Each structure stands twice: as C-alpha cells, then as structure tokens.
Structure 1
Amino acid sequence: MPIPYLPFTDAELFNGVNLVLPAWGLLLVAPRWRYTQHFVTATALAFAAFYIATIIPQLTSGGLDFGELFSYDGVVKAFSTKSVVLSAWLHYVALDLWTGNWEVVDAQKRGISHLCVVPCVALTFLFGPTGLLAYFLVRYSTGSKRKVQ
C-alpha cells in the first residue's frame, strides 16, 4: 500500500486518477463558467497532495535513491517499482492539469479565441509539453500584444 493507513492498492489508486477528467472537460468546454477555475485549481491541488502522500513513504523508507535518479539506469530502476510509477503519474497529472489551466487563463487575458486554445489544451492533456509548445506557437502567431496584469 503506497499510502499508509489507506486500504487501497497502487492499481486501485491509479484508477482513481481518472477523477481528473471532469477538470479537463471544464477547461475544454466551459472555461469561462464561474466555477471552472475553482474546480480546476482544487483538482490540481488535490492531485498534488495525493502525489505528496504517495512519495513521502518512498522517501522515508529509502525506496528512492536521489543519487541514482540522476542517471538513466537509476530512473529506470526507480520506475520499475509500481508505487514509484503511481507517484510519477500523479506528478504528470497534477502538473499537466496546472499547465492546461494556465494556458486557458493566459489566453483569456490576452484575448486569444478559445477555439485556438482547445487543441493546445487537448495536446497538453495527452502529451504534456507538446501542448505547452503548441500554446506558445498559438500565442505568438496570433500577435497577442495585450498586456497581462
């Protein structure tokens, strides 16, 4: 069990990560709804807390050797542990959601059409950094010069 005192396996917790999907849906179809930002932020922070809850037991038990994490073989070794895979996935889920949210908010502040941002957010959901790069390409290709406060 990756989180002490919780009776769930890594696989069961991994399946729970799908609870992030409504937040992505709101970013895509209802970015200006008054509750979207609150819901997405709360979801990202909840997954960040979930990540911390899964990584702390590994850090305190010596399950992760940070010296090894600076080598390819060390990362492969660390990711061969199911609980590390769960923690890594939570890491990606939380940061990708936060990035997708930032793209939507930044585009709104700059007056960029949401239709231009939807593909970027979808790419961020599916391929993380690819969506971020796509957003910056959209941002600069639209000639958005509006000052952001």
Structure 2
Amino acid sequence: MTGFLFGITFWLTVPFWGLMIFAPRWRWTPRVVSSPLIAVPPLVVYTALVVGHLPQLWSTMSAPDLTTLREFTTTPWGASAVWAQVIAWDLLIGAWMYQESRRLGLHPLLMGPLLVFTIILSPFGFAVFLAIRAACDAPDRATTVVTGE
C-alpha cells in the first residue's frame, strides 16, 4: 500500500501543474490554482501514510536530529510521507509563482519551463523566479504588500 501511495502522490498534482503550464490563460486556471485546496490530494496521501505512525512522527519532528530523521526516512512510510509533503509544498509554491507571474504579466513561454524546473528542483526554480520577480516588480512593492495601498 505504501508503494502505491508513493506512486500516486505526484500524479494527483499533475492536473494542477498541467493547467499552469499548458493552459495558463484559460479562464478557469486562475480560479482553480488560486485555491489552497489544490494541495489536499497529496495531503490526504500524507495523512494515510502517517496516521498509523503518529507517535514515531511526533518524536521525529518534535526534537529532530540528523540520526533520527535519517532513520525516519529509511522506512517506506517515512520516505513516502516526506515525499507527499514535499509534493504538496512544491505545488503551493508553483501556484504562488503562477499567480505572481500573472500579476507581473510574465509570458507563459517563460513561466512554463520555469514551472517544469520547479517541479523537478523546486528550491532552484523558486530562487530563479524570485530573481525574475525582483527584476520585474515595482520598486515599492514591499510597501504595497504591507500597507495594502
């Protein structure tokens, strides 16, 4: 069962990634992608993986150290749970990138490959997007975010 859950985790997010990459200007894409509920499918998998191991999960995450975390991820359920969590966070990061790219007016031919890069190596894709965002965004954006004006 764990192998099956690991295997389907990414595939549950493919429709959302597909909308952002292949149909970024379709009128339903922003509506779908703006919902944080898009992360629910991999989080359901995460819950199914950890529900029978909550004491182990708690002890690993409440006082983490390298040895404990390494042991946690050597179990099939532990590695699969980490994978499901990563997939959920990556999707939320990708959705935020998509929304920001629309606000900035970035072309889909730039964002499509960048979103694919983010699927594969999310920290690097996110860093590249942050650099692009900084270069394209208004200089006073920080004030706007804080004050709402």
| TM-score, normalised with respect to structure 2 | 0.79
**Alpha-carbon distance between aligned partners in 2 of 1:139 and 1:131, rounded to the nearest angstrom:** 12
What is the RMSD of the two structures over their aligned residues, measured on CA atoms? 2.3
**Kindly tell me: are residues 68 and 74 of structure 1, through their superposed partners in 2, closer, same or farther at Cα, counting changes over 3 Å?**
farther
**Alpha-carbon distance between aligned partners in 2 of 1:140 and 1:28, rounded to the nearest angstrom:** 22
**Alpha-carbon distance between aligned partners in 2 of 1:138 and 1:124, rounded to the nearest angstrom:** 14
**Alpha-carbon distance between aligned partners in 1 of 2:44 and 2:62, rounded to the nearest angstrom:** 25
Residue 92 (1) aligns with residue 61 (2): no
Unaligned runs of 5+ in 2: none
**Kindly tell me: are residues 68 and 139 of structure 1, through their superposed partners in 2, closer, same or farther at Cα, counting changes over 3 Å?**
closer
Flag the structure with higher helix content: 2
**Residue type of the alignment partner of 2:25:** R
Q: How far 1:110 moved relative to its partner?
A: 2.0
> What's 2:13 paired with?
20
1:61-100 mapped onto 2 (5 Å cutoff) = 62-64=55-57, 65-66=59-60, 70-100=64-94
> What's 2:115 paired with?
121
**Kindly tell me: are residues 67 and 88 of structure 1, through their superposed partners in 2, closer, same or farther at Cα, counting changes over 3 Å?**
closer
**Kindly tell me: are residues 44 and 113 of structure 1, through their superposed partners in 2, closer, same or farther at Cα, counting changes over 3 Å?**
same
**Residue type of the alignment partner of 1:124:** T
**Alpha-carbon distance between aligned partners in 2 of 1:67 and 1:95, rounded to the nearest angstrom:** 17
> What's 1:36 paired with?
29
| Secondary structure in 2 matching 1:124 | helix
- Checking the alignment, whether the CA contact within 8 Å between 1:116 and 1:138 is kept in structure 2 is no
| TM-score, normalised with respect to structure 1 | 0.79
The answer to which structure, 1 or 2, has the higher relative contact order (CA under 8 A, 6+ apart) is 2
Unaligned runs of 5+ in 1: 1-8
> What's 1:48 paired with?
43
